[in-house]
């Protein structure tokens, strides 16, 4: 259930989809991104879809925050490679233009204050070291986190050193009786997955747990199954999600799952494990529909709600299973669908777009929190400045680059977050 403690509220920080959103297909193992490679993207529609999702969260009574698009192209990163955008090879141009920072679940790993020995909320920015186009995101993300969470209630850290790949909250889950109660933190790491890289390293997960001063008895490290990674579950949140006392997972999400579940039940007897059997929903259907890359939330009404992409409704086995669960006596009592098709085209569902932070909203820089009026202002800027379409072959067009840079500046000025403009 939701926490009754207003000082420990769960806030979803969504990444605003940036004006450089394009389909360059830069992410091996992300089947959706690979399928979309070379297609024409629609940055304006993508960003407006993201704003609509945030508005729907507000309508449910959830608290909502934002993270901002990064400067694109990333001229500083290119300068470190002794080149500039105009003369860089095409693959570096694509990597410098990536809008993948919109997936805020990869921004950081967050341990709320009730879980840490010092009573502070700890955030470690993800290094995203596995893939070139994401590896240069962390300096800008860190700057935003240090601005938004400057209050002493938070401890914000730089990345785990490479080569220990860390992909943030997408490979991290938390279980707790309420958001404000001490919880169990679960770090999911990978080892291998057929032809695809495992992106979360065991040593990175352990380093973050030590850094966040977590209780070892309430901290779990579990291996993602090789089948899941090979099937296209490049992050754990493609096959599992947790909220409150509920772990919602596919049957093939974890290696040695029986041992893992037994240990969880011993540590938290009230846990409810909702496992979707492969006989009902294949791993392929779960990944294609992003059934688990959903927001599992508890609104003030107390009805645990699963916010799924429209693709889940359109995948018959998935929708049938969900309807049966809701009709039964399962812990998930309500379904909401959202249209995030542009993000889905690059392999990011509702859960990818948000970073969960349990904290007192009064301790957060208010410029990073939104209500309907602020979302309306964001929507106006997007409608006026975001490109309507980007052809994959045209990302180096100087006019497009100028529009992308101008659009980001317009948003930061409208939100009053001018410190980030010239970073």
pLDDT in tens, 213-230: 999 999 999 999 999 999
CA contacts within 13 A on the Cβ side of 209 = 23
The pLDDT, as a whole number, for residue 6 is 57
Q: What DSSP character marks residue 234? A: -
pLDDT of residue 31: 80
Beta bridge mates, 222: 188
pLDDT tens digits, 42-86: 999 999 999 999 999 999 999 999 999 999 999 999 999 999 999
Across 252-279, average pLDDT: 97
Query: Measuring CA to CA, which residue among 226, 246, 364 is closest to residue 295?
Result: 246
Helical (H) or strand (E) element with 13: strand 9-15
pLDDT of residue 32: 75
Per the CB < 8 A criterion, the answer to whether 264 and 247 are in contact is yes
Cis peptide before 373 (omega within 30 of 0): no
pLDDT band at 33 (very low <50, low <70, confident <90, very high): confident
pLDDT of residue 388: 98
**Is the pTM here over 0.85, yes or no?**
yes
Residue 238 pLDDT level (bands cut at 50, 70, 90): very high
What is the per-residue pLDDT for 9?
95
- What average pLDDT does the segment 330-357 reach? 95
pLDDT band at 350 (very low <50, low <70, confident <90, very high): very high
pLDDT at 5 over 70: no
Look over the chain and give the mean of its residue pLDDT values, rounded to a whole number: 95
What does 274-314 look like in DSSP terms, one character per residue?
Answer: EEE-TTTS-HHHHHHHTSSSSEEE--TT---EEEEEHHHHH
Is it true that domain 9-420 has CATH number 3.90.180.10?
no
Task: Give the containing element (helix H, strand E) for 258.
Answer: helix 257-267
pLDDT digits (tens, 9 = 90+) for 155-177: 999 999 999 999 999 999 999 99
Peptide bond into 402 cis (omega under 30): no
Burial (0-12, 13-18, 19+ Cβ within 10 Å), 303: middle
The radius of gyration of the chain from alpha carbons, rounded to an integer in Å, stands at 20
User: Tens of pLDDT along 76-105?
Assistant: 999 999 999 999 999 999 999 999 999 999
d(CA 55, CA 108): 23
Inform me whether the pLDDT recorded for 241 exceeds 80: yes
Q: What is the pLDDT of residue 97?
A: 97
Strand, coil or helix: 100: helix
- 38 pLDDT tier (thresholds 50, 70, 90): confident
Please report which confidence band the pLDDT of residue 347 belongs to, taking 50, 70 and 90 as the band edges: confident
Give the residue with greater pLDDT, 253 vs 423: 253
pLDDT at 1 over 60: no
Residue 115 scores a pLDDT above 60? yes
27 band by pLDDT with thresholds 50, 70 and 90 = confident
pLDDT digits (tens, 9 = 90+) for 277-335: 999 999 999 999 999 999 999 999 999 999 999 999 999 999 999 999 999 989 999 99
Q: Which residues are catalytic?
A: 167, 235, 352
What pLDDT is attached to residue 7? 59
Q: Provide the pLDDT for residue 411.
A: 98
What is the spatial distance between Cα 137 and Cα 126, in angstroms, rounded to a whole number? 9
d(CA 308, CA 302): 18
User: Which residue matches tokens 């694109």?
Assistant: 72
């Amino acid at each position: 259930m939701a926490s009754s403690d207003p000082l420990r509220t769960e806030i979803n920080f969504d990444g605003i989809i940036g004006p450089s959103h394009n389909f360059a297909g830069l992410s091996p193992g992300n089947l959706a991104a690979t399928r979309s490679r070379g297609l024409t993207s629609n940055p304006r529609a993508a960003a407006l879809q993201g704003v609509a999702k945030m508005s729907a969260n507000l309508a449910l009574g959830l608290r909502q925050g934002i993270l901002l698009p990064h400067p694109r192209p990333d001229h500083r990163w290119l300068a470190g490679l002794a080149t500039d955008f105009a003369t860089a090879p095409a693959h570096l141009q694509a990597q410098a233009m990536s809008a993948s920072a919109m997936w805020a679940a990869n921004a950081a790993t967050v341990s709320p204050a009730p879980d840490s020995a010092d009573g502070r909320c700890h955030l470690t920015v993800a290094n995203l070291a596995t893939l070139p186009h994401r590896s240069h995101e962390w300096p800008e993300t860190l700057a935003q986190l240090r601005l938004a969470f400057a209050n002493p209630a938070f401890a914000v850290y730089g990345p785990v050193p490479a080569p220990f790949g860390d992909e943030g909250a997408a490979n991290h889950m938390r279980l707790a009786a309420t958001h404000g109660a001490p919880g169990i933190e679960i770090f999911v790491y990978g080892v291998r997955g057929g032809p695809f890289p495992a992106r979360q390293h065991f040593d990175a997960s352990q380093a973050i747990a030590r850094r966040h001063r977590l209780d070892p008895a309430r901290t779990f490290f579990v291996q993602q199954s090789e089948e899941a990674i090979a099937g296209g579950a490049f992050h754990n949140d493609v096959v599992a999600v947790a909220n409150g006392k509920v772990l919602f997972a596919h049957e093939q999400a974890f290696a040695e799952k029986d041992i893992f579940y037994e240990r969880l039940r011993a540590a938290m007897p009230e846990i409810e494990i909702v496992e979707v059997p492969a006989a009902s929903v294949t791993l392929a259907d779960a990944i294609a529909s992003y059934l688990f890359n959903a927001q599992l939330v508890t609104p003030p009404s107390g009805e645990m709600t699963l916010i799924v992409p429209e693709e889940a409704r359109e995948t018959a086995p998935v929708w049938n299973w969900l309807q049966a669960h809701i009709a039964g006596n399962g812990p998930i009592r309500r379904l909401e669908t959202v249209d995030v098709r542009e993000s889905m085209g690059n392999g990011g569902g509702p859960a990818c777009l948000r970073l969960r932070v349990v904290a007192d909203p009064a301790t957060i820089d208010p410029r990073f929190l939104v209500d309907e009026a602020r979302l309306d202002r964001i929507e106006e800027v997007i409608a006026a400045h975001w490109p309507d379409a980007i052809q994959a072959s045209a990302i180096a067009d100087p006019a497009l680059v100028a529009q992308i840079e101008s659009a980001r500046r317009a948003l930061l000025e409208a939100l009053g977050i001018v410190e980030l403009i010239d970073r």
